[in-house]
Amino acid sequence: MKKIIVWFRKDLRVHDNPVLWEAAQQGIIIPVFIWSEEEEEGENTTSAAGKWWLHHSLIALKKKLESMGLSLVFRRGNSLKELSLLCKQTKADAVFFGERYEPSIIRRDSTITKNLLFNGMEVRSFSSNLLFTPSDLLNQKNEPYKVFTAFWKRTMRESVNRPLPIPVDIVRCDQVLPSLRVEELGLLSANRWEEKFHTHWEPGEKGAITSWEQFTDEGLSRYVEGRDIPSANSVSLLSPHLAWGDISVRAIWHSAKGMNEVESEEYMHSSINAFLRQLIWREFAYHQLIHFPTMLHAPLREKFKAFPWQGSDKEYAKWQKGLTGYPLVDAGMRELWETGTIHNRVRMVVASFLVKHLLISWVDGSYWFKETLVDFDAASNAIGWQWVAGSGIDAAPYFRIFNPILQSQKFDPDGLYIRKWVPELAEIPSKYIHEPWKAPINLLHESGIVLGKTYPYPIIDHSLARIRALEAYAQVKNKS
C-alpha cells in the first residue's frame, strides 16, 4: 500500500474531511500539521486570538485522531522543507491536502506542489472548507458574480456534495516519527491575554458539533427575528469553527436543508433560509477573493483609492478600547476584546462608525479585527469591511451611515447588551442608556456616572460626522 501524508490545514476535523477520507481509501495514513511563520502567512491568522484557537483545536484533533489509532505529527518551519523531510523520513508516496484560497497561500501551494511533483511525489488537493469551488461559479458572460442576490439565486440551482463519513478501517503508519508537542509550536502568547476566551468557547470538532446542535435546538427557530438582537441567543456561534474547519460547512448545509424539507411551519422555513443565506455570503466572499485577490488590502472600486481619510491615531485607539462615548459601539468593541468575536449586527455598526464617523480607513479596521477575532477569515473580513466602506462589489451605498443611537434603540431597546459589556452604564434607565449625555445630572449621579470620567462624552457628534462623511464620499463620487 502507498503511504500518504495527510497535511491538515484549515480542516481540523475527521468528519466530512475529503483529504482524510480519500487517503484512507488508498493507503497508509501519516497525518501532519505544520505551523509556518513564513512571510506569506501574514495575510492570514497570526494574531494571538487566532493562534489561541488553533492551539486548542489542534489538541482536540490530536485526541480524536488518537482514538482512531493515528498519531498527529507536529512540525514547525518552512512548509515545503518540512514536507520534503517527512517524505524522506517515511518514504511516502503522496501528499494530500485541503485547498486554501488566500492569494499568498495559493502561490505557496503552487511552489510546494511543483517541488513535490518534481521529486516524484503524487500530490492531490481537495476542496474541504467551502460548499463550492470559487472558480466554478461564473455568470452567463463567463465572468465572476458581482451582485450577491444573483450569486445566491445561482447557488440555489446548484447541488452541494453530500458530506463524507468518518473513515473506518484506517491503516496507520507504525513508524515513530519525530514530532513537536502542541505547546512547542509557540502558538500561545507570552502575556496570555487570550486565556479568557476559555469562558466563551470550546475549540475543536466536538465543540463545533455541540454549538450546531444547541443552535438547532434553541436558536434556529428564532433566527429571523433574533439574529439582529445582540442580547438574544439566536445565532449559531459557528464562525470560528467554520474559519478553522472544526466543522464541515457541507454537513451544516445538508443538515439545515433536511430540516427545511420536514418542517411544516413557515417561520422555520424563513429562519432556515436566512441562515443558509449567511453560508452563501461566506461563499460569495471567497468567490470575490479568488477573482479579485487585491480585495484584502485595496478597494475594489478604483475611485476609493483617493478617499480623503482624516481620522487620528487617538480616535482609532478610543475605538479599539470601546471608549467612543457611543454605548452600542463601545459594547461591541469590548465584547470583541473579551470574547474574540462580536455580534454581526454590532460588527456592522462599529465598522461603519470607524469608517464613516471617524473617517479612518477600513484597512485599519480590518487589521484590528484580524488581531482580535478568533473567527478571523481573510475573505469574509475583507468583504465585510469593503461592504461597509462602500468600496467593494455590491457594497452598501455610500450614503448609508449607521446611526449608532438609532441602531442601539432598535436592536438593544432595554440596553441588555450594553449593560453587559459597558458595566459603568448598568444602572442608568433604558430611556437614557443609548444617549447618556442627555440624562439629567441628578440621574447620572444616582446611576454612578460622571461623564468625562467614568464614561466618556461622544468623541464626535453624529450629525456633524454624517455631514463630514457625505462630503468626503462626494469627493470620491465626483472623480472621473
Are residues 273 and 310 both part of a single domain? Answer: no
Which range of residues forms the domain containing residue 242? 130-161+205-291
Could you tell me if residue 340 is left (phi over 0), alpha (psi between -120 and 50 degrees) or otherwise beta?
A: left
Q: Cell numbers of 424, please? A: 459603568
Spatial contact of 112 and 119, defined as CB atoms under 8 Å apart? no
pLDDT digits (tens, 9 = 90+) for 156-166: 999 999 999 99
Are residues 144 and 52 both part of a single domain? Answer: no
DSSP state of 66: H
Are residues 351 and 471 both part of a single domain? Answer: yes
pLDDT of residue 244: 96
Q: Which of 153, 449, 431 is nearest to 280 (CA)?
A: 153
Domain annotation covers residue 217: yes
Domain annotation covers residue 209: yes
Are residues 113 and 148 both part of a single domain? Answer: no
pLDDT of residue 136: 85
The residue whose grid cell reads 449567511 is 278
Are residues 281 and 357 both part of a single domain? Answer: no
pLDDT of residue 268: 83
Number of domains in the chain: 3
Residue pLDDT tens, the chain, 480 long: 899 999 999 999 999 999 999 999 999 999 999 998 764 455 555 688 999 999 999 999 999 999 999 999 999 999 999 999 999 999 999 999 999 999 999 999 999 999 999 999 999 999 999 999 888 899 999 999 999 999 999 999 999 999 999 999 999 999 999 999 999 999 998 888 888 999 999 999 999 999 999 999 988 988 998 999 999 988 999 999 999 999 999 999 999 999 888 777 787 889 999 999 999 999 999 999 999 999 999 999 988 999 999 989 999 999 999 999 999 999 999 999 999 999 999 999 999 999 999 999 999 999 999 999 999 999 999 999 999 999 988 777 777 899 999 999 999 999 999 999 999 999 999 999 999 999 999 999 999 999 999 999 999 999 999 999 999 999 987 765
pLDDT of residue 94: 98
Spatial contact of 21 and 164, defined as CB atoms under 8 Å apart? yes
Domain annotation covers residue 334: yes
Are residues 219 and 367 both part of a single domain? Answer: no
pLDDT of residue 456: 98
Q: CATH number for the domain including 400?
A: 1.10.579.10
Q: CATH number for the domain including 77?
A: 3.40.50.620
Domain annotation covers residue 195: no
Q: Cell numbers of 320, please? A: 479599539
Residue 96, phi then psi, degrees to nearest 5: -115, 140
Domain annotation covers residue 196: no
What is the number of other CB atoms lying within 10 angstroms of the CB of residue 285?
26
Are residues 381 and 417 both part of a single domain? Answer: yes
**Cα(446)–Cα(52) distance, integer angstroms:** 41
Amino acid, res. 263? E
- Of 251, 266, 291, the last residue of a domain is 291
Nearest-Å Rg of the Cα atoms of the chain is: 24
Are residues 454 and 348 both part of a single domain? Answer: yes
Domain annotation covers residue 21: yes
**Cα(330)–Cα(322) distance, integer angstroms:** 4
pLDDT of residue 39: 47
Q: CATH number for the domain including 251?
A: 1.25.40.80
Domain annotation covers residue 167: no
Are residues 134 and 222 both part of a single domain? Answer: yes
Domain annotation covers residue 194: no
Q: Cell numbers of 26, please? A: 488508498
Are residues 104 and 62 both part of a single domain? Answer: yes
- Of 236, 259, 291, the last residue of a domain is 291
pLDDT of residue 46: 67
Are residues 123 and 134 both part of a single domain? Answer: no
Are residues 61 and 101 both part of a single domain? Answer: yes
What is the number of other CB atoms lying within 10 angstroms of the CB of residue 388?
26
